[in-house]
Structure formats: C-alpha cells, structure tokens
Amino acid sequence: MTAGAAERPHLDRGLGLLQATSANILVMIGVGPFLTIPFMLDAMGGPHILYAWIAGAMLALCDGLVYAQFGAALPGSGGPYVYLREAYEPFGLGRLLAFLFIFQTMLVAPLSIASGAVGFSDYLGVFWHMRGVVHDLIAAGVAVAMTALLYRHIRSVGRLSVVLLVIVGVAVGWIVLAGLTRFSIAQAFDFPPSATHLDRALLSRIGAVSLLAMYNYGGYNNVCNIAEEVRDARRNVPRAIVLSIVAVVALYAVMSTVIIGVVPWTEAQHSRAIASLLIERTFDNPSAGLIASRVMTALILVVTVSSLYGLILGFSRVPFAAARDGQFFRVFARVHPTKHFPNVSLVTIGLISVPFCFLSLGQIIDWLVLVEIASQFVWLCAGVILLRRYRRDIPQPFVMWLYPAPAIAALVLWGYVFVSAPIAGQAFAIGVVVVGVALYAISFRRRGPG
C-alpha cells in the first residue's frame, strides 16, 4: 500500500463559497427529518422535541467550529483523516487515528448512504406500496444512480449542487409557509408536566433524542472532505460550515414546530410521511389536499437524492486522500484522466453501500452516529486543541470563537450523547474501534514503523 506514483495526483479547485455551502446543506437537509421527527416524538413522549433540536444545535455549532479551525489549517481532501494524522503526530498516534478514521469511513460511508436510500424507498411508498426485497432493491438502485450522476468534473458537480439546493429550499419553504396557515401555538407547545421538570429522566430522553437530532444535523463537515476542490479554502471552508449550520438549525427548529402545530404529536409520531400529511391538512378540499401531498412527496424524493449526491461526493474523497499518502490501497488514488476526480474511490464507495440498503433504518442511524463518536468526533475535539498548541509549524488562519470552550463543550456533549444511547449500540461502536486497532497493529507489523 505505497504511493508508487511518480506524480502526486491532484484535484481541481472548482467550488466557490456558494457551491461549498450547497454541498454541506444538501447533506444536512436530506430525508432524515421527514422520517425521524415521528421517531423523535415517540422517544421524547411529547411535543417538546424542541429541547433535543436545541441541544443538537449547540453541539453542532461547537463541533462545527472544531471542523472550521481544522479545515482552515489543513484544507485538503479527506478532512478528518488529515486532521487526526497531523494533530496527534507529535504523540505517535497520528497514523493510528488516521487509520481508524479510514476504517470507520468504510463502514460509516455506506451506512450514511444507505440510510438516505432507504428513506427514499420509505417515502416512495406513498405512491407505490412496496414490501421486502422490492423496497430494498429500489434503495440500492438509487445509491447506484447517484454515484453515476457524480461521475463528472467537479465544476459540473458544483453547478448541479446549486440547482438541487434550490429545489430543497422550495420543499422546506413550502412546508413552513403552508403550515403557518393552520398553525396552532397551543397545540405546538402543549408540553406535558414532565417537560418542565429538569430531572434525570428528562435529561436521559433529551440525550437519546439528540442522537437523532445530530443524525439530521450531520453533514456540516462534508466540505472538509472536498476542501482540496474549494477555491480559497482557508477562508471558504470555515464560512461554509458556519453558514450551513446556522441555516439548517433555524430551518429544522421552525419546521418541526410548525408540523406539530398542525398535526397533533400523538398522530404525528405514527406517521411515516409527515411532510406530505402536513401539506394535505392545509387544504379544505380533500382532493386538492391529496394532490398537493403527492407533489410534496415528489419534492421530498428529490431532497433525498440531493442528500445522497452530497454524501457520496464527500465520502469518495477520503479513501482517495489516504491512498495518495500511501495509507490505503493505492488503486484508490487513481484520478480520471480528463475529468480529474477520484473515479475508483467514487465508484467503490457507491457500490459498497448497496448491501447496507437491506438493513432497517433504526439500526443504521444508531450505529452510524455512535461509531463516529467513538472513532472520530471525540478525538477531533481534543485534537484541535493539540494542533493549536503543538503544531506551530502549521499555519492556523482561523481560530474558533471563545477558543477552546466550543471544543471542550463538544467533547462533553458527544460523551453525553454516547452514554445516553442503548448499550447494544455502544458495544457495537466500541467493537468497531477495537477491530480497527487490531487491524492497524497487524498492518503496522507487516510494514514496519517507517
């Protein structure tokens, strides 16, 4: 697994601030909230899921500032792979943690992609009732189709990202504006008595539901994976991260509140097409409501594939970056001869997501976030402080506001989310880390310390 190439492969910087922010928001606003809001209501036991959205927003902003500082200092492909390698290099842990990130990415990437593809099939059920293998095959087909759509130059990818972002904005804007016409403040904020008592039970529920909130917020770091293809990355990467977080946090908080203000939470928690149901409720004429709900469902399907588009784009750059450095199979370092994108890495990431489309959505979400916490998030929160203190040789043009408070807060909050999760999920995440360390030890012995 050595580089073995006379000339280091490079990618073109074809994305400006708008395209970079679009790539982030497309991943953040996928089918996730439209599927998980009912799950969040059920887990919280009431309409006060706003608590979880706020807790998730605090964590997303604090963690986003960690990525912003890293992204400005180390604006290359692969994002966290580079950050972990450089931050922990003075302590002899850089290669190990970078390897762990690559290892978990080969699991997290297909899980993330599959979750969006499965969500697509779930929402498609409004038009066509599917069961079993047909549902899963459609999900797999969507993942393959989005991979094929990304098989092009980065400038073309960026232009299409902006177009998809406009469609996403139309869908979310319609939900909010339509919902406000039938919005009931009393219904939206009819919190149960337990919601006003800050005890252990409430904190436990907030922690558990925040896991779903963070799944929905996830994607603000997507631009870090493609930073090598962003113009003026040291400035635009931090900007894209902060802009996307602020925009999506506001949209999710407003959208979920509006939904509950139209559809009672006791009913909403059982819906699997909540956005379509809301649109239908805003019409007095049942026939017109049914037509409008179908149009909304079609828009949600576009939102879903847009999210998949951004996910596959970002994840495909991680194996490429590692392979180019000689830390992964060198075939992944290949770049398309004329369109200059990592074609082998892109196709592989898309294809290995196909088997995961046959898992349940609940399993995918739990495994996804917990594995990332154990093998990536907590290490990055500590790593950004280590990079600032011990890597004076690396220019760091952006330092997070109130440094290092956001990094410490994110570290504590990630830990809280992890311990609030089901024990089975914690065990799985820890198991992934243990297996990764074992594989690294075997690889290290074979290659030697060089």
Residue 1 lies in a domain: no
Q: Structural domain tally of the chain?
A: 1
The region of weakest confidence among 21-25, 126-130, 207-211 is: 126-130
Read off the pLDDT of residues 310-362 as tens digits, 9 standing for 90 and up. Answer: 999 999 999 999 999 888 888 999 999 999 999 999 999 999 999 988 876 56
Which amino acid does the sequence have at 127?
A: F
Read off the pLDDT of residues 243-253 as tens digits, 9 standing for 90 and up. Answer: 999 999 999 99
Look at residue 231 and tell me whether its pLDDT is greater than 70: yes
Q: How far apart are CA 307 and CA 351, in angstroms?
A: 17
- How many other β-carbons are positioned within 10 Å of the β-carbon of residue 343? 18
pLDDT at 445: 65
Q: How far apart are CA 222 and CA 260, in angstroms?
A: 30
pLDDT at 4: 43
CATH number, domain containing residue 39: 1.20.1740.10
- How many other β-carbons are positioned within 10 Å of the β-carbon of residue 424? 12
Residue 10 lies in a domain: no
Look at residue 284 and tell me whether its pLDDT is greater than 70: yes
Averaged pLDDT of the chain: 90
pLDDT-based confidence at 125, cuts 50/70/90? confident
What's the mean pLDDT in 144-159?
94
pLDDT at 3: 42
pLDDT at 81: 95
Residue 242 lies in a domain: yes
Q: What token pair was written down for 304?
A: 């879903």
Residue 95 lies in a domain: yes
Read off the pLDDT of residues 175-194 as tens digits, 9 standing for 90 and up. Answer: 999 999 999 999 999 999 88
What's the mean pLDDT in 34-59?
91
- Domain that includes residue 347, residue range: 17-447
Look at residue 2 and tell me whether its pLDDT is greater than 50: no
pLDDT at 400: 97
Look at residue 1 and tell me whether its pLDDT is greater than 60: no
Percent of the chain clearing pLDDT 90 (strictly above) = 64
Residue 3 lies in a domain: no
3-state secondary structure of 15: strand
Question: Could you give the count of Cα atoms lying within 13 Å of 418 in the half-sphere of its Cβ?
Answer: 20
Query: Virtual CA dihedral for 118, 121, 122, 127, nearest 10 degrees?
Result: 170
What's the mean pLDDT in 185-209?
89
pLDDT at 341: 94
Residue 324 lies in a domain: yes
pLDDT-based confidence at 173, cuts 50/70/90? very high
Q: Are 253 and 54 in contact (CB under 8 A)?
A: yes
Residue 12 lies in a domain: no
Residue 39 lies in a domain: yes
Look at residue 126 and tell me whether its pLDDT is greater than 70: yes
